[in-house]
Amino acid sequence: MDQFFVNSDFKAGKFLHAEVTIRKINFADPTDGALVMRKGWFGTTPPLETLTA
């Protein structure tokens, strides 16, 4: 799998309200299946420039 997240995609709003599933996979034996670790949705976020520590 050669897909990844790019900051410019987030800034362009490509992932607004997208469903997200994080899975743990045994790449040595993918036939073991995948364990769902977390599931949720991306929401809207302010631009990083507006966030303060």
Question: Residues 47, 37, 1, CA angle at the centre, nearest 5°?
Answer: 75
pTM across the whole model: 0.55
CB 3 within 8 A of CB 18: no
Average pLDDT of the chain is 81
Cβ within 8 Å of residue 20, ≥6 positions away? 38, 39, 40, 41, 42
When pLDDT is averaged across residues 20-49 and rounded to a whole number, the result is 86
Residue 22 CB contacts under 8 Å (≥ 6 apart), including other chains: 36, 37, 38, 39
Q: CA triplet 21, 23, 25: central angle to 5 degrees? A: 155
